[in-house]
C-alpha cells in the first residue's frame, strides 16, 4: 500500500478514498441522477415528448407512470424534468406542482399545497385560506381563467397516485383531470404509482376523464445486464481527479465481478429482486468497508454484505431471548404441531413446558407462574406472539388465545446459533413429540 502511495504522490490515498466514497455514495443514495435512464429509453422519450407538448404547445395531458417499487419511476420523471429544463421554451413556461399521496393525505391539504406551490396565495395577500370549499372554488377559478395559448402550463406530479384515489369522492382527481380535458389552463397530470390496478381505483367519471396513457416500467434485465449495471454503478468516471487510482479501482471492480462467489451472490440477489434499490443497498454495505488500508472491494466484503441483507430479522431477535423465553417458544412450536396451527394460551404453553421439565428435571429450574407470565408478555411485546383478534380483553391474560408469529424454520435456525443453548432444550426442540 505504501508503495502505491509513493507512486501516486499527487493525491494522497486517503483523499482518493474519501472522494471515491463521496462519489459512489451520491450515486447509490439516489442523490445523483444518471445521465440517462438505463433500460428506459422508450419511456423516457414518450414522457419527454408528452411534457414538451404541454409546455410548448399548451396541450393538456394526463399520464400514469406505473411500475413496481424500485423500478425507477421517480428517477425517470426527474430525468425527464431535468431534460425539459434544458429546453429554453419549456423552462420559462412550466410551473410545477409536486404532491405526494403520503403527505397530502386529503384533498384539503392537497389544495393548500397546490395553492402554495403555484404562489396563488400572494394574490389575496397573506390571508390564510378559509374553508375547503373556498379553496376548491378558488383554485378552479384560477385554472378556469387560463386558456391554452396564454397561460403558463402547470405540471402536477402526483406521487403515490393510488392514495389520491382514496380521497373522498376523488374530488381532486376529478377536477385536475377535468381541467386536463377542457379548454382551461393547460395542465399535465403525471401520476406515479406502483399499483398495476390503479385504473380500477378510479371512479368511472374520473376514469373517463383520464387519458388512459400509462407508462409501464416493467423491464426485465438479464443477469448479464444486471452484472453490467453493478459495474457501471461501481466504476469511477474518467474525470476522477486521480487517474491512476481510478484505473486501479476500476480494474478491481472488474476482477470482483468476474469472481465466481461474487457472481453467485449477485445471482441470488438477482433472483430475489431485480430492482435497483436492493442492489444499491448491497453495494453500499460493500462500499462502507472500503478503507485507505484496503482501497478496493473484495469478494469477502460482498459475501458479508449479502449475508447481512439476507439475514432473517426474526431469527436474529430470537438470539436475544432468555432460555425461559426460548423454551416457551419451543413449547408453542410443539403446540402448533400438535394442534395444527390452532391458537394457544399461556396455560397450555406452561403445561407443555412443565411436561418438558418433568422429563428433564435435572437441568432446568421450574419457574413460578408470574415469571412465566412475565416472559410471555415479553414475547408478546416483541411480537413473537400476537393475540387472536376475536378474543376480547375481558378474558384473563393467562387464558387469552395467542398465535405464534414465527415459522418453524426460523426457530430451528435460531437454535443452531443460540449461544450456549442447553442440549436438552435443543433436543426437545428437535423431537417430534414434544
Partner 1 sequence: MKYFTRLRVRRVYEWRGKPLSFNRKLKTYEYGSLAISVEGLPRVTVIKIGQHILIEGEDEDNPYVAKVIRLFGDDSGKQKKAVVQWFVRVFEVPPSKLKLLGREPHPQEIFYYQGRSCDDEVDAGSILQPVQVTHLEAAAPFPDSGDADALYVKLSWDSKTFKAAERPRAESEPAPAPSPPRRPRPSLPPSPPRSPPAAALAPRGPARRALPTPDLTVMRRAAQGEARCSRATMSAGRPRAAEAESLHSTTKLSASKCLSAKRRNASARTPGVRKKLELSNPEKNLMVGEDVLGQLLDDELQSEGMVAVGRLSASPPEDLSLTPLRRSREAAGSPGNFSLKPSVIVLQKLPVSDRTSPPSSARATTPSRKKDRDTLKEPALGVLAEVDNEISPMLPVAATPRGSKRKSAQLVSSRIRKQLNLLENLQDLNSDEEDEEEFVPSKKELQSSEEEEEEEEEEEDGEEEEAGLDSDDDVVYKKGRRAAAGSRTPRPKQRIRSSTRTPQRTPNKKITPGTPRTPHRATPSIPSRSLPARQPANVLEEARTRLHVSSVPESLPCREQEFQDIYSFVESKIEDGTGGCMYISGVPGTGKTATVQEVMRCLQHAADVDEIPSFHFIEINGMKMTDPHQAYVQILQKLTGQKATADHAAALLEKRFSNPAPRKETTVLLVDELDLLWTRKQNVMYNLFDWPTRRHARLVVLTIANTMDLPERIMINRVASRLGLTRMSFQPYSFKQLQQIIMSRLNKVKAFEEDALQLVSRKVAALSGDARRCLDICRRATEICEHSASDPSATGLVGMGHVMEALNEMFSSAYITAIKCASLQEQLFLRAVIAEFRRLGLEEATFQQVFVQHQALCRVEGLQPVSVSEGLAVCQRLGGCRLLLLEPSRLGVLQRVRLNVSQDDVLYALKAD
* Of positions 93, 96, 100, 380, contacts partner 1 by CB under 8 A: 93
Sign of the dihedral through C-alpha 314, 316, 320, 321: positive
Q: Does 86 bind partner 1 (CB under 8 A)?
A: no
Least distance to partner 1, CB of residue 54, Å? 10
Tell which one of 117, 132, 382, 391 touches partner 1 (CB under 8 A). Answer: 132
Interface with partner 1 (CB under 8 A), residue from 69, 231, 319, 397: 69
d(CA 289, CA 302): 10
Judged by DSSP in three states, 317 sits in helix
> Does the footprint of partner 1 cover residue 244 (CB under 8 A)?
no
Cα gap 307→417, rounded to integer Å? 15
Among 30, 195, 289, 298, binds partner 1 (CB under 8 A): 195
With contacts defined by CB under 8 A, name the span among 19-27, 77-85, 193-201, 254-262 that binds partner 1.
Answer: 193-201
Q: Shortest distance, CB of residue 22 to partner 1, whole angstroms?
A: 30
Nearer to partner 1, 81 or 142 (CB): 142
- H/E stretch holding 288 reads none
The number of beta carbons lying within 10 Å of the beta carbon of residue 170 is 20
Burial code of 58-80, b = ≥16 C-beta within 10 A, e = fewer? bbbbbbbbbbbebbbbebbbbbb
**Residues in 255-274 at the binding interface with partner 1, rule: CB under 8 A:** 268, 270-274
Number of residues that bind partner 1 (CB under 8 A): 96
The residue assigned the cell 473484495 is 298
**Inter-axis angle of helices 276-287 and 260-272, nearest 10:** 140
Contact window for partner 1 (CB under 8 A) among 138-146, 238-246, 326-334, 368-376: 138-146
Interacting positions 365-424 with partner 1 (CB under 8 A): 383, 386, 403, 405-407, 409-410, 413
Tallying the residues shown for the chain, one arrives at: 434
What is the smallest separation between the CB atom of 240 and partner 1, expressed in angstroms?
33
The residue range among 131-139, 284-292, 371-379, 422-430 that interacts with partner 1, by the rule CB under 8 A, is 131-139
Site for partner 1 in 156-175 (CB under 8 A): 169, 171, 174-175
Q: How many other β-carbons are positioned within 10 Å of the β-carbon of residue 146?
A: 19
Interaction between residue 184 and partner 1 (CB under 8 A): yes
Of 84 and 246, CB closest to partner 1? 84
48's grid cell = 419527454
Residue 238's Cβ-count burial label (10 Å; 0-12, 13-18, 19+) is exposed
297-326 mask for partner 1 (x: CB under 8 A)? -------------xxxxxx-----------
185 binds partner 1 (CB under 8 A): yes
CA distances from 225 to 39, 110, 237, 329 (A): 10, 40, 19, 45
Q: With contact defined as beta carbons under 8 Å apart, do 341 and 404 qualify?
A: no
Binding mask 3-42 for partner 1 (x = CB under 8 A): ----------------------------------------
Binding partner 1 (rule: CB under 8 A), the pick from 113, 178, 248, 424 is 178
Residues 224-243: x/- map of binding to partner 1 (CB under 8 A)?
--------------------
356 SS3 class: helix
Q: Which is nearer to partner 1, 1 or 183 (CB)?
A: 183
Q: Which of 15, 59 has the CB closer to partner 1? A: 59
Cell representation of residue 88: 429554453
CB-CB contact of 139 with 172 (8 Å): no
Question: CB atoms < 10 A from the CB of 402, how many?
Answer: 22
Amino acid at each position: 500500500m505504501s508503495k502505491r502511495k509513493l507512486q501516486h504522490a499527487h493525491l494522497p490515498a486517503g483523499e482518493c478514498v474519501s472522494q471515491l466514497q463521496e462519489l459512489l455514495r451520491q450515486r447509490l443514495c439516489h442523490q445523483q441522477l444518471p445521465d440517462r435512464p438505463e433500460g428506459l429509453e422508450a419511456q423516457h422519450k414518450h414522457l419527454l415528448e408528452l411534457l414538451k407538448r404541454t409546455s410548448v404547445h399548451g396541450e393538456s395531458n394526463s399520464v400514469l407512470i406505473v411500475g413496481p417499487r424500485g423500478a425507477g419511476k421517480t428517477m425517470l420523471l426527474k430525468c425527464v424534468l431535468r431534460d425539459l429544463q434544458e429546453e429554453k421554451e419549456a423552462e420559462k413556461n412550466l410551473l410545477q406542482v409536486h404532491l405526494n399521496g403520503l403527505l397530502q393525505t386529503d384533498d384539503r391539504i392537497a389544495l393548500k399545497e397546490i395553492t402554495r406551490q403555484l404562489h396563488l396565495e400572494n394574490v389575496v395577500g397573506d390571508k390564510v385560506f378559509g374553508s375547503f370549499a373556498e379553496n376548491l372554488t378558488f383554485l378552479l377559478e384560477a385554472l378556469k381563467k387560463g386558456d391554452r395559448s396564454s397561460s403558463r402550463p402547470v405540471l402536477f406530479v402526483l406521487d403515490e397516485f393510488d392514495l389520491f384515489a382514496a380521497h373522498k369522492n376523488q374530488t381532486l382527481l376529478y377536477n385536475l383531470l377535468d381541467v386536463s380535458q377542457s379548454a382551461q389552463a393547460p395542465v399535465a397530470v403525471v401520476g406515479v404509482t406502483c399499483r398495476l390496478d390503479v385504473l380500477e381505483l378510479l371512479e368511472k367519471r374520473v376514469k373517463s376523464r383520464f387519458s388512459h396513457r400509462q407508462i409501464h416500467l416493467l423491464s426485465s434485465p438479464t443477469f448479464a445486464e444486471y452484472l453490467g449495471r453493478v459495474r457501471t454503478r461501481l466504476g469511477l468516471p474518467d474525470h476522477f481527479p486521480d487517474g491512476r487510482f481510478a484505473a486501479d479501482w476500476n480494474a478491481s471492480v472488474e476482477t470482483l465481478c468476474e469472481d465466481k462467489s461474487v457472481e453467485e451472490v449477485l445471482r441470488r440477489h438477482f433472483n430475489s429482486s431485480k430492482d435497483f434499490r436492493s442492489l444499491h443497498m448491497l453495494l453500499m454495505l460493500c462500499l462502507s468497508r472500503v478503507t485507505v488500508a484496503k482501497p478496493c472491494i473484495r469478494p469477502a466484503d460482498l459475501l458479508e454484505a449479502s449475508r447481512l441483507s439476507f439475514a432473517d430479522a426474526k431469527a436474529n431477535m430470537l438470539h436475544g431471548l432468555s432460555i425461559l423465553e426460548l423454551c416457551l417458544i419451543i413449547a408453542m412450536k410443539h403446540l402448533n404441531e400438535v394442534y395444527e396451527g390452532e391458537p394457544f394460551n399461556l396455560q397450555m404453553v406452561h403445561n407443555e413446558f412443565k411436561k418438558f421439565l418433568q422429563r428433564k428435571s435435572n437441568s432446568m429450574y421450574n419457574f413460578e407462574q408470574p415469571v412465566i407470565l412475565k416472559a410471555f408478555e415479553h414475547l408478546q411485546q416483541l411480537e413473537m406472539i400476537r393475540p387472536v383478534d376475536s378474543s376480547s380483553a375481558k378474558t384473563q391474560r393467562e387464558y387469552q388465545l395467542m398465535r405464534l408469529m414465527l415459522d418453524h424454520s426460523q426457530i430451528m435456525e435460531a437454535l443452531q446459533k443460540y449461544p450456549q443453548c442447553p442440549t436438552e432444550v435443543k433436543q426437545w426442540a428437535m423431537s417430534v413429540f414434544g
